[in-house]
Amino acid sequence: MKFSAQAIAAFLNGIVEGNAQVEVDNVSKIEEGRPGTLAFLANPKYESYIYETKASIVLVNKDFAPEKPIEATLVKVENAYESFAKLLELYAANRFNYSGISQKSTISDTAQIGENLFLGDFSVINDNAQIGKNVKIHHNVTIGENVIIGDNTEIRSGVHIYYDCVIGQNCFIHAGSVIGADGFGFAPQQDGNYKKIPQVGNVLIEDFVEIGANTCIDRATMGSTIIRQGAKIDNLVQIAHNVEVGQNTVIAAQSGISGSTKIGKSCMIGGQVGLVGHLKIADGTIFAAQSGVNSNIKESGRILQGSPAMDIRGFQKSSVYFRKLPDIVKRIDELEKLLKNKA
């Protein structure tokens, strides 16, 4: 489907500068622009590309003032980045408009199915599951017994949602994720073996949550593992039993949250961060990548880095000395030799 600059400007409440009738049917980066595509400029460090891009239309902020002529048509908007995101949503919705229930899928007679369900090949909806309206469940998905899925949620191929779990509205779960597998609970025995502790809780995911590919969220031992509204979780993240992730918190890839840790709202957890169990993390905390967290964070808004995690400025100062340690040790060895020779 093609869109003209005039139509795009009308949709975004923008202003056209250039050929209002030029059309695009795809998007591109501004530095890789091609004819027939739309790009955007939000970061000033990319401004040089706008004078040479081959993109037909470029979204820019209303206060953008070019220093020399631009071949592309400009659509000026309040916020170019946000406007581009809106157009991507529109583009994706028109490109991937799934519908229908595959004859190769299985739906239990006791399941409740909402209107306009898309169900892909070899997917299974088990007993007493409740599926909301406009839900998209792709191929090879397992929806366990008594699972509840809210309206407008999309579940990609290969996802497994275990029994009794609850998924809210407008959620997106990417391929290969597992929701509600048993938490890692084993009791050591006198003979050195481990006895499995039954995990009888569930996972509760609130509205507008996105979960990346191959992420695992374990069910609670008792009660619920909870992912609060608006949280965004990257690929390859492990969230253990009885963890609570706060509203609008974001967690980057390969991070791991140990059991019963409670993370506040609007936190940011970088890649490969590890948190030990039973911690409480204050609202607005930021952990830089590869941090190791082994104590409670009581004050909100702190930025921490390192293992064990400390205030980022302290870590950065310490890292200067870390790099100098070999030279310091060498100098100490030389001083000890001098002192020994003088003795």
The pTM assigned to this predicted structure is 0.84
User: Which residues does residue 257 pair with via DSSP β-bridges, in sequence order?
Assistant: 239, 275
- Tell the CATH topology of 106-312: UDP N-Acetylglucosamine Acyltransferase; domain 1 (2.160.10)
Cα separation, 158 vs 204, whole angstroms: 20
Least trusted range by pLDDT, from 28-32, 89-93, 150-154, 267-271: 89-93
Res 97: pLDDT:
75
Single out the residue of 54, 61, 1 nearest to residue 28, CA to CA: 54
- pLDDT at residue 262, as a whole number: 98
Query: Which among 138, 160, 174, 241 is annotated as catalytic?
Result: 241
Superfamily for the 3-95 domain: MurE/MurF, N-terminal domain (3.40.1390.10)
> Would you state the pLDDT for residue 32?
95
Burial per residue of 32-49, b for 16 or more beta-carbon CB atoms within 10 angstroms, e otherwise: ebeebbbbbbbeeeeeeb
| Confidence grade of residue 320 (pLDDT, cut at 50, 70, 90) | confident
Residues 273/290, Cβ–Cβ less than 8 Å? yes
Among the listed ranges 106-115, 126-135, 142-151, 316-325, which one has the minimum average pLDDT value? 316-325
Q: What type of residue is 289?
A: A
CB atoms inside a 10 Å sphere around CB 323:
9
Spell out the SS3 assignment of 116-155. Answer: CCEECCCCEECCCCEECCCCEECCCCEECCCCEECCCCEE
Residue 76 burial (CB count, 10 A): 19
Q: Where in the chain is the domain with CATH 3.40.1390.10?
A: 3-95
Torsion-angle region of residue 144: left (phi > 0), alpha (psi -120 to 50) or beta?
A: beta
Active-site residue flag, 138: no
For 82-123, write each residue's pLDDT tens digit.
999 998 887 776 666 788 999 999 999 999 999 999 999 999
What is the reported pLDDT for 84?
93
> 343 pLDDT exceeds 70?
no
